Structure 1
Amino acid sequence: MTAARFVDTTRSVWAFIGDDIAVACPRCSSRAWVVPAVMDPDARILDDPRSPWSARRLSCVECGHSAAHSGTRVCTGGGVDPYFALPLWLRTTVRGNLLWAYSGEHLGTLEAFVSARVREKPLDTGIRMTMIAKLPKWIKAAENRGAVLKGIARLRARLS
Protein backbone atom coordinates (compact mmCIF):
# COMPACT_ATOMS: atom_id res chain seq x y z
CA MET A 1 0.00 0.00 0.00
CA THR A 2 1.58 3.26 -1.10
CA ALA A 3 -0.18 6.47 -0.24
CA ALA A 4 0.65 9.66 -2.05
CA ARG A 5 0.36 11.95 0.96
CA PHE A 6 0.29 11.82 4.77
CA VAL A 7 -0.63 14.80 6.92
CA ASP A 8 0.35 14.55 10.59
CA THR A 9 -2.84 14.72 12.66
CA THR A 10 -0.88 16.02 15.70
CA ARG A 11 -1.89 13.01 17.80
CA SER A 12 0.50 11.94 20.49
CA VAL A 13 1.34 8.34 21.28
CA TRP A 14 -0.93 8.73 24.33
CA ALA A 15 -3.93 8.85 22.00
CA PHE A 16 -3.31 5.22 21.06
CA ILE A 17 -3.40 3.84 24.60
CA GLY A 18 -6.93 5.03 25.38
CA ASP A 19 -8.51 1.88 23.98
CA ASP A 20 -7.41 -1.76 23.75
CA ILE A 21 -3.72 -2.69 23.69
CA ALA A 22 -2.61 -6.10 22.40
CA VAL A 23 -0.01 -7.78 24.65
CA ALA A 24 1.56 -11.20 25.18
CA CYS A 25 -0.12 -12.98 28.09
CA PRO A 26 2.34 -13.42 30.97
CA ARG A 27 0.95 -16.88 31.69
CA CYS A 28 0.54 -18.55 28.27
CA SER A 29 2.18 -16.10 25.79
CA SER A 30 -1.01 -15.91 23.69
CA ARG A 31 -2.52 -12.60 22.69
CA ALA A 32 -4.15 -10.84 25.61
CA TRP A 33 -5.75 -7.41 25.85
CA VAL A 34 -5.26 -4.47 28.16
CA VAL A 35 -8.58 -2.64 28.15
CA PRO A 36 -10.13 0.26 30.05
CA ALA A 37 -11.69 -1.04 33.27
CA VAL A 38 -15.43 -0.75 33.73
CA MET A 39 -16.14 2.49 35.50
CA ASP A 40 -17.40 2.45 39.04
CA PRO A 41 -20.94 3.90 38.99
CA ASP A 42 -19.90 6.21 41.85
CA ALA A 43 -16.82 7.48 39.98
CA ARG A 44 -16.42 11.16 39.35
CA ILE A 45 -17.49 12.43 35.93
CA LEU A 46 -13.86 13.37 35.21
CA ASP A 47 -12.78 9.70 35.40
CA ASP A 48 -12.81 9.09 31.65
CA PRO A 49 -12.09 5.40 30.95
CA ARG A 50 -10.16 6.38 27.79
CA SER A 51 -7.78 8.58 29.76
CA PRO A 52 -4.22 7.23 29.84
CA TRP A 53 -4.40 7.45 33.65
CA SER A 54 -7.62 5.48 34.15
CA ALA A 55 -7.73 1.93 35.50
CA ARG A 56 -7.06 -0.96 33.13
CA ARG A 57 -7.77 -4.68 33.05
CA LEU A 58 -5.63 -7.41 31.50
CA SER A 59 -7.57 -10.33 29.99
CA CYS A 60 -6.40 -13.40 28.12
CA VAL A 61 -9.10 -15.28 26.23
CA GLU A 62 -6.82 -18.29 25.77
CA CYS A 63 -5.97 -19.15 29.40
CA GLY A 64 -8.32 -16.88 31.34
CA HIS A 65 -5.55 -14.96 33.08
CA SER A 66 -6.64 -11.53 34.27
CA ALA A 67 -5.20 -8.69 36.31
CA ALA A 68 -6.09 -5.14 37.23
CA HIS A 69 -4.04 -1.95 37.17
CA SER A 70 -4.90 1.33 38.86
CA GLY A 71 -3.62 3.36 35.90
CA THR A 72 -1.60 5.66 38.13
CA ARG A 73 1.88 5.02 36.71
CA VAL A 74 2.02 5.20 32.96
CA CYS A 75 5.06 5.05 30.66
CA THR A 76 5.30 4.68 26.88
CA GLY A 77 7.72 3.16 24.44
CA GLY A 78 10.17 0.31 24.44
CA GLY A 79 7.82 -2.30 23.02
CA VAL A 80 5.94 -2.89 26.28
CA ASP A 81 2.46 -1.85 27.33
CA PRO A 82 2.35 1.23 29.57
CA TYR A 83 0.41 -0.41 32.42
CA PHE A 84 1.66 -3.94 33.08
CA ALA A 85 5.00 -3.58 31.23
CA LEU A 86 4.18 -6.72 29.23
CA PRO A 87 5.66 -7.24 25.77
CA LEU A 88 3.39 -5.86 23.09
CA TRP A 89 1.78 -8.40 20.78
CA LEU A 90 2.57 -6.14 17.83
CA ARG A 91 6.36 -6.02 17.86
CA THR A 92 9.01 -7.20 15.45
CA THR A 93 12.58 -6.46 14.49
CA VAL A 94 13.33 -4.47 11.35
CA ARG A 95 16.99 -4.09 10.37
CA GLY A 96 18.05 -4.59 13.98
CA ASN A 97 15.52 -2.10 15.36
CA LEU A 98 12.35 -2.75 17.33
CA LEU A 99 9.13 -1.83 15.50
CA TRP A 100 6.05 -1.87 17.72
CA ALA A 101 2.44 -0.71 17.90
CA TYR A 102 -0.20 -0.73 20.62
CA SER A 103 -3.14 -1.63 18.41
CA GLY A 104 -4.42 -1.98 14.87
CA GLU A 105 -5.24 1.73 14.78
CA HIS A 106 -1.71 2.65 15.87
CA LEU A 107 -0.28 0.25 13.29
CA GLY A 108 -2.50 1.79 10.60
CA THR A 109 -1.20 5.27 11.38
CA LEU A 110 2.39 4.06 11.19
CA GLU A 111 1.66 2.33 7.88
CA ALA A 112 0.03 5.42 6.41
CA PHE A 113 3.03 7.53 7.41
CA VAL A 114 5.73 5.12 6.20
CA SER A 115 4.03 4.36 2.89
CA ALA A 116 3.41 8.00 2.00
CA ARG A 117 5.70 9.59 -0.58
CA VAL A 118 4.86 13.09 0.71
CA ARG A 119 4.79 13.62 4.48
CA GLU A 120 3.36 16.90 5.65
CA LYS A 121 3.70 18.50 9.03
CA PRO A 122 0.56 20.09 10.42
CA LEU A 123 -0.07 23.78 10.17
CA ASP A 124 1.34 25.71 13.11
CA THR A 125 -0.93 24.40 15.84
CA GLY A 126 1.58 24.96 18.61
CA ILE A 127 1.91 21.18 19.03
CA ARG A 128 5.51 20.23 18.37
CA MET A 129 6.04 16.68 19.59
CA THR A 130 3.43 14.55 17.87
CA MET A 131 3.79 10.78 17.64
CA ILE A 132 5.06 11.19 14.08
CA ALA A 133 7.61 13.82 15.12
CA LYS A 134 8.95 11.48 17.80
CA LEU A 135 9.40 8.47 15.50
CA PRO A 136 13.00 7.29 15.27
CA LYS A 137 14.99 8.30 12.20
CA TRP A 138 15.27 4.70 10.94
CA ILE A 139 11.46 4.54 10.55
CA LYS A 140 11.40 7.87 8.73
CA ALA A 141 14.29 7.07 6.41
CA ALA A 142 13.30 6.51 2.77
CA GLU A 143 15.87 3.73 2.34
CA ASN A 144 14.10 1.72 5.08
CA ARG A 145 10.58 2.20 3.70
CA GLY A 146 10.34 -1.27 2.13
CA ALA A 147 11.73 -3.07 5.18
CA VAL A 148 9.50 -1.15 7.59
CA LEU A 149 6.41 -1.85 5.46
CA LYS A 150 7.30 -5.57 5.48
CA GLY A 151 7.58 -5.38 9.27
CA ILE A 152 4.18 -3.68 9.45
CA ALA A 153 2.73 -6.43 7.26
CA ARG A 154 4.11 -9.06 9.67
CA LEU A 155 2.47 -7.22 12.57
CA ARG A 156 -0.82 -6.88 10.70
CA ALA A 157 -0.81 -10.67 10.14
CA ARG A 158 -0.49 -11.15 13.91
CA LEU A 159 -3.77 -9.30 14.43
CA SER A 160 -5.80 -11.77 12.37
Structure 2
Amino acid sequence: MNPYTLRNEDFIDRVDVICPKCQSRALVTGGKPHGSVAEQETHVKFTCVTCGYALFYKNTPSFAIYKNSSHTEKKLRPIFLNSPCDPFFAFNLWYKTDTTFGVIWAYNLKHLLIIEDYIADKLRERHNVDMQNNSIASRLPQWIKSAKNRSYLLKIIHKLKQHA
Protein backbone atom coordinates (compact mmCIF):
# COMPACT_ATOMS: atom_id res chain seq x y z
CA MET A 1 0.00 0.00 0.00
CA ASN A 2 1.33 3.36 -1.02
CA PRO A 3 1.14 6.41 1.31
CA TYR A 4 1.37 8.62 -1.80
CA THR A 5 -1.91 7.31 -3.22
CA LEU A 6 -3.85 6.47 -0.05
CA ARG A 7 -5.72 9.06 1.99
CA ASN A 8 -6.55 9.02 5.70
CA GLU A 9 -10.24 8.69 4.86
CA ASP A 10 -9.54 5.44 3.01
CA PHE A 11 -9.44 3.86 6.49
CA ILE A 12 -12.75 5.12 7.93
CA ASP A 13 -14.64 1.89 7.26
CA ARG A 14 -13.42 0.56 10.62
CA VAL A 15 -12.11 2.99 13.24
CA ASP A 16 -10.77 1.75 16.57
CA VAL A 17 -11.81 4.12 19.35
CA ILE A 18 -11.91 4.37 23.13
CA CYS A 19 -15.42 3.85 24.45
CA PRO A 20 -16.54 7.06 26.19
CA LYS A 21 -18.48 5.02 28.77
CA CYS A 22 -16.03 2.30 29.87
CA GLN A 23 -12.70 3.33 28.27
CA SER A 24 -12.36 -0.06 26.53
CA ARG A 25 -11.58 -0.57 22.88
CA ALA A 26 -14.64 -0.09 20.69
CA LEU A 27 -15.43 0.26 16.99
CA VAL A 28 -16.95 2.77 14.64
CA THR A 29 -17.93 0.88 11.49
CA GLY A 30 -19.67 1.51 8.20
CA GLY A 31 -17.84 4.63 7.05
CA LYS A 32 -17.57 4.93 3.29
CA PRO A 33 -14.28 6.52 2.19
CA HIS A 34 -15.89 8.32 -0.73
CA GLY A 35 -19.49 8.20 0.43
CA SER A 36 -22.01 10.98 0.69
CA VAL A 37 -23.23 12.31 4.03
CA ALA A 38 -26.51 10.46 3.45
CA GLU A 39 -24.63 7.16 3.00
CA GLN A 40 -22.65 7.81 6.19
CA GLU A 41 -25.85 8.51 8.12
CA THR A 42 -27.35 5.22 7.00
CA HIS A 43 -24.37 2.94 7.62
CA VAL A 44 -22.14 4.35 10.40
CA LYS A 45 -22.50 3.01 13.93
CA PHE A 46 -20.50 2.86 17.14
CA THR A 47 -20.37 -0.35 19.18
CA CYS A 48 -18.62 -1.31 22.40
CA VAL A 49 -18.72 -5.04 23.09
CA THR A 50 -17.42 -4.54 26.64
CA CYS A 51 -20.22 -2.36 28.05
CA GLY A 52 -22.81 -2.68 25.27
CA TYR A 53 -22.95 1.03 24.47
CA ALA A 54 -24.08 1.58 20.88
CA LEU A 55 -24.87 4.64 18.83
CA PHE A 56 -25.94 5.28 15.26
CA TYR A 57 -24.55 8.28 13.40
CA LYS A 58 -28.01 9.14 12.12
CA ASN A 59 -29.09 9.68 15.75
CA THR A 60 -26.44 12.31 16.48
CA PRO A 61 -27.37 16.01 16.35
CA SER A 62 -27.36 17.74 12.99
CA PHE A 63 -26.58 21.41 12.48
CA ALA A 64 -28.06 24.07 10.24
CA ILE A 65 -25.34 24.78 7.70
CA TYR A 66 -26.95 27.15 5.19
CA LYS A 67 -30.19 28.11 3.55
CA ASN A 68 -30.72 27.07 -0.04
CA SER A 69 -32.30 29.22 -2.77
CA SER A 70 -35.80 28.57 -1.43
CA HIS A 71 -34.63 29.66 2.05
CA THR A 72 -34.92 26.16 3.45
CA GLU A 73 -32.30 25.24 6.06
CA LYS A 74 -29.93 22.46 5.06
CA LYS A 75 -28.99 20.36 8.08
CA LEU A 76 -25.91 18.16 8.08
CA ARG A 77 -23.92 16.17 10.58
CA PRO A 78 -20.25 17.06 10.91
CA ILE A 79 -17.49 14.74 9.70
CA PHE A 80 -14.05 15.31 11.22
CA LEU A 81 -11.53 14.09 8.65
CA ASN A 82 -7.74 14.35 9.01
CA SER A 83 -7.91 14.97 12.73
CA PRO A 84 -6.91 12.83 15.73
CA CYS A 85 -10.44 11.71 16.56
CA ASP A 86 -12.93 9.42 14.89
CA PRO A 87 -14.54 11.24 11.95
CA PHE A 88 -18.17 10.68 12.93
CA PHE A 89 -18.59 10.84 16.71
CA ALA A 90 -15.31 12.61 17.55
CA PHE A 91 -14.42 9.84 20.03
CA ASN A 92 -10.77 9.38 21.01
CA LEU A 93 -8.84 7.05 18.76
CA TRP A 94 -7.40 3.82 20.13
CA TYR A 95 -4.19 4.34 18.15
CA LYS A 96 -3.28 7.82 19.36
CA THR A 97 -0.51 9.10 21.59
CA ASP A 98 1.33 12.26 22.44
CA THR A 99 4.98 12.53 21.48
CA THR A 100 7.63 15.12 22.20
CA PHE A 101 6.70 16.81 18.92
CA GLY A 102 2.93 16.37 18.69
CA VAL A 103 0.21 13.74 18.40
CA ILE A 104 0.61 10.63 16.27
CA TRP A 105 -2.63 8.89 15.38
CA ALA A 106 -4.24 6.31 13.11
CA TYR A 107 -7.81 5.19 12.52
CA ASN A 108 -6.95 1.49 12.78
CA LEU A 109 -4.02 -0.93 12.77
CA LYS A 110 -3.84 -1.07 8.97
CA HIS A 111 -3.59 2.75 8.86
CA LEU A 112 -0.92 2.70 11.58
CA LEU A 113 1.12 0.14 9.63
CA ILE A 114 1.07 2.39 6.53
CA ILE A 115 2.35 5.29 8.62
CA GLU A 116 4.97 3.06 10.23
CA ASP A 117 6.21 1.84 6.84
CA TYR A 118 6.45 5.43 5.61
CA ILE A 119 8.48 6.50 8.67
CA ALA A 120 10.76 3.44 8.42
CA ASP A 121 11.38 3.92 4.69
CA LYS A 122 14.72 5.68 4.25
CA LEU A 123 14.27 6.35 0.52
CA ARG A 124 10.57 7.30 0.29
CA GLU A 125 10.37 6.96 -3.45
CA ARG A 126 7.13 7.90 -5.16
CA HIS A 127 7.54 5.36 -8.00
CA ASN A 128 6.08 7.76 -10.60
CA VAL A 129 3.10 8.73 -8.45
CA ASP A 130 2.09 12.37 -8.91
CA MET A 131 2.02 14.68 -5.91
CA GLN A 132 -1.36 14.49 -4.21
CA ASN A 133 -2.10 17.06 -1.54
CA ASN A 134 -4.61 14.80 0.19
CA SER A 135 -2.41 11.69 0.44
CA ILE A 136 -1.24 10.30 3.78
CA ALA A 137 2.35 11.23 2.91
CA SER A 138 1.42 14.84 2.21
CA ARG A 139 -0.74 15.16 5.34
CA LEU A 140 1.89 13.94 7.80
CA PRO A 141 3.54 16.75 9.76
CA GLN A 142 7.17 17.56 9.04
CA TRP A 143 8.35 16.24 12.42
CA ILE A 144 7.05 12.78 11.42
CA LYS A 145 8.83 12.98 8.07
CA SER A 146 12.12 14.06 9.62
CA ALA A 147 14.83 11.38 9.53
CA LYS A 148 16.20 12.52 12.90
CA ASN A 149 12.94 11.44 14.61
CA ARG A 150 12.68 8.07 12.85
CA SER A 151 13.89 5.73 15.61
CA TYR A 152 11.97 7.63 18.33
CA LEU A 153 8.71 7.47 16.36
CA LEU A 154 9.15 3.82 15.43
CA LYS A 155 9.51 2.97 19.15
CA ILE A 156 6.30 4.85 19.90
CA ILE A 157 4.46 3.07 17.09
CA HIS A 158 5.76 -0.26 18.38
CA LYS A 159 4.16 0.56 21.77
CA LEU A 160 0.90 1.54 20.06
CA LYS A 161 0.83 -1.74 18.15
CA GLN A 162 1.04 -3.67 21.43
CA HIS A 163 -2.53 -2.46 22.10
CA ALA A 164 -3.77 -4.23 18.96
Q: Which amino acid aligns with 2:139?
A: K
* Residue 63 (str. 1) matches residue 20 (str. 2): no
1:127 aligns with 132
Greater RCO, 1 or 2 (C-alpha within 8 Å, sep 6+): 1
- Once the two structures are superposed, the pairs formed by residues 39-118 of structure 1 within 5 Å of their partners are 49=32, 51-52=34-35, 53=37, 54=40, 55-70=43-58, 72-118=77-123
Q: 1:16 aligns with which of 8, 11, 19?
A: 11
Go from structure 1 to structure 2 and tell me whether the alpha carbon gap of 1:21 and 1:128 turns closer, same or farther (over 3 Å shift): same
- Residue 125 of structure 1: CA displacement? 3.8
- Residue 96 of structure 1: CA displacement? 4.0
Q: TM (normalized to structure 1)?
A: 0.79
Which is worse superposed, 114-123 or 82-91? 114-123
How far apart, CA to CA, are the structure 2 residues paired with 1:59 and 1:7? 30
Go from structure 1 to structure 2 and tell me whether the alpha carbon gap of 1:102 and 1:8 turns closer, same or farther (over 3 Å shift): closer
How far apart, CA to CA, are the structure 2 residues paired with 1:111 and 1:91? 13
How far apart, CA to CA, are the structure 2 residues paired with 1:7 and 1:118? 13
Contact 1:32 1:60 in 2 (8 A): yes
- Residue 127 of structure 1: CA displacement? 3.2
State, as a whole percentage, how many aligned pairs show the same letter.
30
How far apart, CA to CA, are the structure 2 residues paired with 1:154 and 1:128? 29
SS in 2 for 1:152: helix
Q: How many residue pairs align between the two structures? A: 142
Unaligned runs of 5+ in 1: 1-5, 38-48
How far apart, CA to CA, are the structure 2 residues paired with 1:8 and 1:100? 15
How far apart, CA to CA, are the structure 1 residues paired with 2:101 and 2:132? 31
CA RMSD of aligned residues (A): 2.2
**1:1-28, Cα deviation, whole Å (9 max, x unpaired):** xxxxx954411111111x2100010110
Unaligned runs of 5+ in 2: 59-75
Q: TM (normalized to structure 2)?
A: 0.78
How far apart, CA to CA, are the structure 1 residues paired with 2:110 and 2:129? 25
2:65 aligns with none
